[in-house]
């Protein structure tokens, strides 16, 4: 009997001690806001309110297009090495189609050499690199005038080899695309290359021009009064990189039905994240303890931010609908007080069982 009494005292002590210590993860808002705590210097706690949404979400989905991209206007096409030109001299087929009129146009094209020169009958070598089509037409007409009365000349580019746009990443076709005499917009180039919609991150197309990177969100381009992809003309030498969405993940932990990592292609808000995780656990979760933990590259220079949503009222999810997630965000839902107490008991019951069994065995041995 003495052993049962001792066991009872031991269990009572453990239970009392368990009231003060809660096993598992928990988050104290007081520790984050207390300037004396170790975490306070590295973490900033922010309550999600309409004002916070306005300030923190600005630019996450409707990032304005750089003015220099919209204002750029293509210059007339300049001929370059590798281009193939079809030069027509009306009423003179021998000058227009030296390979024969029955041949395809490309077969009668005249290739611009690597040094930028071109040979043409009666004229000889002409330095054509850097000329516009109109400038070359006038040059040939002027020089041919010595041999042909009032020559009528037309020049067309039938093969482009000098001015290109490179494409990388999650495009269906990543072959370099030539820029021809007709200017090409971002919309046309992306449409021609095709997008792998299962793998592409549409929110961060990177256009590199003259050594400078421009980030473009294809999801929101053209929304409202902003520029569209049809307003952005591409320039020879531009590089387009469409990243993969493999790194676009948010991580859901704590008291939800299905804690998991969620990959998203376009944009996602906090409500959608919680919904994809099956919602808050109705038994174990504390709806007042919904947090979004947003890290930074260097904690020594800038504190990480913990956004707090009090979801006790259904109206709070109107805020969650407008809270745009970022890759790497961690959503954590805290446990309810009852859940914390049940966890204490679940850890103490095996101990009490062992104590009780040992006491019973000792009694029988007396």
pLDDT at residue 140, rounded to an integer: 94
To the nearest 10 degrees (0 to 180), the angle between helices 2-20 and 337-365 is 160
Which is it for the CA torsion 172, 178, 181, 186, positive or negative?
A: positive
Looking at the domain 84-159, which fold is it?
wza like fold (3.30.1950)
pLDDT confidence of residue 2: 41
- Break the chain into its structural domains and give their ranges: 6-60+267-343, 67-75+163-245, 84-159
Residue 4: count of CB within 10 angstroms of its CB: 14
Fold of 67-75+163-245: Outer membrane lipoprotein wza fold like (3.10.560)
Listed residue (278, 244, 272) closest to 329, CA to CA: 272
Q: What span, in angstroms and rounded, lies between the C-alpha atoms of 230 and 222?
A: 9
pLDDT for position 337? 76
In the block, tokens 């037409």 appear at 137
CB contact set of 35 (below 8 Å; sequence gap of 6+): none
Region at 293 (left for phi over 0; alpha for psi -120 to 50; beta for the rest): beta
Structure confidence at residue 354 (pLDDT): 43
CB 150 within 8 A of CB 80: no
Where in the chain does DSSP place strands (E)?
43-47, 84-89, 110-111, 117-120, 124-127, 153-159, 164-169, 177-178, 205-209, 212-216, 239-242, 249-254, 260-263, 285-294, 304-309, 330-335
Class of domain 6-60+267-343: alpha beta
> DSSP secondary-structure letter at 73?
-
6-60+267-343 with 67-75+163-245: one CATH topology? yes
Q: Quick count: other Cβ atoms within 10 Å of Cβ 156?
A: 14
Question: How confident is the prediction along the chain (366 residues), in pLDDT tens digits per residue?
Answer: 444 333 343 334 433 333 433 445 555 555 555 544 444 556 788 888 888 777 666 544 456 788 899 899 998 999 999 999 999 999 888 888 776 666 666 677 889 999 999 999 889 999 999 999 999 999 999 999 998 889 999 999 988 888 889 999 999 999 999 888 888 999 999 999 999 888 888 888 999 999 999 998 887 776 655 667 678 999 999 999 998 877 778 999 999 999 999 887 777 899 999 999 999 999 999 999 999 988 766 666 777 888 999 888 777 888 888 898 888 899 999 998 766 555 555 655 554 454 444 444 444 444
Q: Indicate the burial class of 110 (C-beta count within 10 angstroms; 0-12, 13-18, 19 or more).
A: middle
267 burial via Cβ count (<10 Å: 0-12, 13-18, 19+): middle
């Amino acid at each position: 009997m003495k052993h049962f009494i001792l066991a009872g005292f031991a269990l009572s002590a453990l239970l009392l001690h368990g009231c003060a210590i809660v096993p598992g993860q928990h988050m104290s808002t007081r520790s984050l806001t207390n300037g004396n705590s170790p975490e306070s210097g590295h973490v900033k706690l922010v309550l999600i309110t309409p004002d916070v949404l306005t300030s923190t979400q600005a630019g996450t989905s409707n990032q304005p297009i750089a003015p220099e991209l919209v204002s750029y206007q293509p210059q007339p096409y300049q001929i370059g090495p590798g281009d193939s030109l079809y030069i027509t001299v009306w009423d003179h087929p021998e000058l227009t189609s030296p390979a024969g009129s029955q041949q395809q146009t490309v077969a009668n094209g005249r290739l611009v050499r690597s040094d930028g020169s071109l040979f043409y009958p009666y004229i000889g070598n002409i330095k054509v690199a850097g000329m516009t089509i109109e400038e070359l037409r006038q040059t040939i007409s002027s020089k041919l005038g010595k041999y042909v009365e009032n020559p009528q000349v037309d020049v067309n580019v039938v093969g482009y080899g000098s001015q290109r746009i490179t494409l990388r990443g999650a495009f269906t076709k990543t072959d370099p695309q030539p820029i021809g005499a007709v200017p090409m917009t971002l919309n046309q180039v992306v449409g021609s290359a095709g997008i792998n919609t299962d793998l592409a991150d549409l929110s961060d197309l990177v256009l590199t021009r003259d050594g400078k990177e421009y980030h473009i969100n294809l999801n929101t381009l053209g929304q409202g009064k902003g520029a569209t992809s049809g307003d952005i003309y591409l320039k020879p030498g531009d590089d387009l990189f469409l990243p993969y969405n493999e790194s676009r993940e948010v991580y859901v932990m704590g008291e939800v039905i299905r804690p998991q990592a969620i990959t998203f292609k376009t944009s996602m808000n906090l409500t959608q994240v919680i919904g994809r995780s099956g919602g808050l656990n109705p038994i174990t979760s504390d709806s007042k303890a919904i947090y979004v933990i947003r890290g930074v590259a260097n904690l020594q220079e800038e504190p990480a931010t913990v956004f707090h949503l009090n979801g006790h009222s259904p109206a709070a999810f109107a805020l969650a609908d407008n809270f745009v997630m970022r890759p790497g965000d961690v959503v954590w839902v805290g446990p309810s007080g009852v859940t914390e107490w049940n966890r204490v008991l679940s850890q103490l019951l095996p101990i009490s069982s062992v104590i009780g069994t040992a006491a019973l065995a000792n009694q029988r041995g007396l």
